[in-house]
Amino acid sequence: MTAKTARVNDDLIRALRAVVGDRVSTSAVVREQHGKDESYHPPHPPDAVVFATTTREISDVVKICAGRGVPVVPFGAGTSLEGHVAALKGGVCIDLARMNAILSVNAGDMDVTVQAGVTRKQLNEHLRDMGLFFPIDPGADASLGGMAATRASGTNAVRYGTMRDNVLALTVVLADGRVIRTSRRARKSSAGYDLTRLFVGSEGTLGVIAELTLRLYGIPEAISAAVCPFPDLKSAVETVILTIQSGVPVARIELLDEVQMDAINRYSKFDYPLQPTLFFEFHGSERGVVEQVETVKGIAADCGAGDFRWATKPEDRNRLWQARHDSYYACLALRPGAKALATDVCVPISRLAECILETRRDIDQTGLLAPILGHVGDGNFHVVVVMDMNDATEVARCKAFNERLVMRALAMDGTCTGEHGIGYGKIDFLTVEHGDAVSVMRAIKMALDPQNIMNPGKIVRV
């Protein structure tokens, strides 16, 4: 243990064991696993890892840490991308994976209450027989607590919204160990400050999300997915913009450029044309889906699209979306041993074509291996910049590219992160984006976590 974490000592470990028994570990392997996410950011292992099973245990662990001024870092599935779980100041990581109970499904109200470690796939498997589903889908099989903490979204957000829109209430352990519930199960409320939305996206810096009540949706009567190639990026993006502006309630509309299509073909054994491509999904009644498809096919044809290739059988649809979700790994597989810097800007839809085309020119000029893909219906797209971490010059070039991309998006009234969050990777961009508003965030942080023990060094520096 380093000097900075001197307060993590045998006495603390004894206190933790008194709460969770042998579910505390200081082994190097376990600590290493918990100090890193899926990004290129360097690992920062915590000094100890606790595997919590109840809200009460989280509360007791936080009280022990608070009494000693020791940092607390919550850990879900470890699939974040901006160093969210890095224990920058050491301390105790609370692993929530064993808090994986689905506590209650209220089918009549279309809501569910879960422990924070339940993953989205686990939840949807549980719900399937009830004809219900939870739509938010960031690709990775993330924990729902982690998804709330990072305000995740993903492919379905264009129709169903993000975690912001689909969390009804949270049970949160505060920085002093007190437990609050942020809201009731009613669908709307004007009762005081919106604490639910404050904790959604707070990345563990204001408290630990222990339980969530989520909105559910009926599985649509009809679902239809299609893949459609375009002659160039511009015509694909134009199709997206016109589709959104037409008001068609498309469930998914995803862009993949030709480099990304190549990566997916190789990784997922597809044979799609190497062209900029849109993946669509339509949800609705049988008639409603037909109507949506007609409208979108008309728009796409006007923009010069190729043929729609349909995936109607569930197994074909699942294979298609699995391939889309594996795109990050498909990019990494293009260059074995490399890491990826996944960018995440989001701009108003009217600026999307301009932003993507300028970015593509930048990639070409800079000479990067950097497929483009994204949830373009929201104006959100990613560039997966594949880089050799051992080549400092290349890493610097990739980071400079990301910075140019962020500045481009901000100049278009966009954001530096549509869905990945700030972590510590984007902490400086947050200030560029929000200006004086960051001081308001800092004031809130200091009010709710005066010792700065909750995931310190993330979102705002104190």
Q: What residues numbered 98-127 form the site for its own copies, per CB under 8 A?
A: 106, 108-111
Residue among 24, 85, 148, 430 that touches its own copies (CB under 8 A): 430
From residue 321 to residue 360, the character string flagging contacts with its own copies as x (rule: CB under 8 A) and all else as - is -----------------------x-xxxxx----------
Q: Select 20 or 349, whichever has its Cβ closest to its own copies.
A: 349
Minimum distance from residue 370 beta carbon to its own copies (Å): 21
Amino acid identity at 164? R
Burial class (CB in 10 A: 0-12, 13-18, 19+), 187: exposed
Minimum distance from residue 86 beta carbon to its own copies (Å): 17
Question: Is residue 63 part of the contact set for its own copies (CB under 8 A)?
Answer: no
Q: Select 5 or 59, whichever has its Cβ closest to its own copies.
A: 59
Retrieve residue 52's tokens. 């919590």
Stretch that binds its own copies, among 9-17, 21-29, 394-402, 433-441 (CB under 8 A): 433-441
Q: Select 64 or 430, whichever has its Cβ closest to its own copies.
A: 430
Retrieve residue 127's tokens. 């719900």
> Do residues 321 and 155 make contact, with C-beta atoms less than 8 angstroms apart?
yes
Residue among 23, 181, 319, 461 that touches its own copies (CB under 8 A): 181
Question: Is residue 255 part of the contact set for its own copies (CB under 8 A)?
Answer: no
Question: Is residue 222 part of the contact set for its own copies (CB under 8 A)?
Answer: no
Residue among 123, 140, 152, 384 that touches its own copies (CB under 8 A): 152
Residue among 323, 338, 416, 453 that touches its own copies (CB under 8 A): 416
H helices then E strands: how many in the chain? 17, 18
Residue 20 CB: number of other CB atoms within 10 A?
18
Question: Is residue 414 part of the contact set for its own copies (CB under 8 A)?
Answer: yes
Minimum distance from residue 358 beta carbon to its own copies (Å): 16
Q: Select 290 or 333, whichever has its Cβ closest to its own copies.
A: 290
> Do residues 272 and 227 make contact, with C-beta atoms less than 8 angstroms apart?
yes
Residue among 1, 18, 103, 180 that touches its own copies (CB under 8 A): 180
Minimum distance from residue 307 beta carbon to its own copies (Å): 25
> Do residues 168 and 113 make contact, with C-beta atoms less than 8 angstroms apart?
no
For its own copies (CB under 8 A), the number of binding residues is: 90
What long-range pairs does 332-335 form, CB within 8 A, spacing at least 24? 332/386, 333/263, 333/266, 333/267, 334/263, 334/266, 334/369, 334/386, 335/369, 335/386, 335/388
Enter the DSSP assignment of 109: G
Stretch that binds its own copies, among 245-253, 273-281, 304-312, 332-340 (CB under 8 A): 245-253
From residue 362 to residue 401, the character string flagging contacts with its own copies as x (rule: CB under 8 A) and all else as - is ----------------xxx---------------------
Question: Is residue 62 part of the contact set for its own copies (CB under 8 A)?
Answer: no
Which helix or strand (DSSP H or E) is residue 403 part of? helix 392-411
Q: Select 65 or 174, whichever has its Cβ closest to its own copies.
A: 174
Stretch that binds its own copies, among 55-63, 230-238, 395-403, 407-415 (CB under 8 A): 407-415
Residue among 17, 178, 266, 335 that touches its own copies (CB under 8 A): 178
> Do residues 230 and 275 make contact, with C-beta atoms less than 8 angstroms apart?
yes
Residue among 247, 336, 337, 367 that touches its own copies (CB under 8 A): 247
Amino acid identity at 161? G
Closest CA to 195 of 185, 184, 183: 183
Specify the 3-state DSSP secondary structure of 222. strand
Rounded to an integer, what distance in angstroms lies between the CA atom of residue 301 and that of residue 279?
Answer: 15
Closest CA to 215 of 318, 107, 310: 107
According to DSSP, the residues that pair with 25 across neighbouring strands are 49
Question: Is residue 447 part of the contact set for its own copies (CB under 8 A)?
Answer: yes
Residue with tokens 């890193």: 36
According to DSSP, the residues that pair with 408 across neighbouring strands are none
Q: Select 174 or 209, whichever has its Cβ closest to its own copies.
A: 174
Amino acid identity at 57? E
Minimum distance from residue 12 beta carbon to its own copies (Å): 26
Minimum distance from residue 128 beta carbon to its own copies (Å): 16
| Cα of 444 vs its chain's centroid, Å | 23
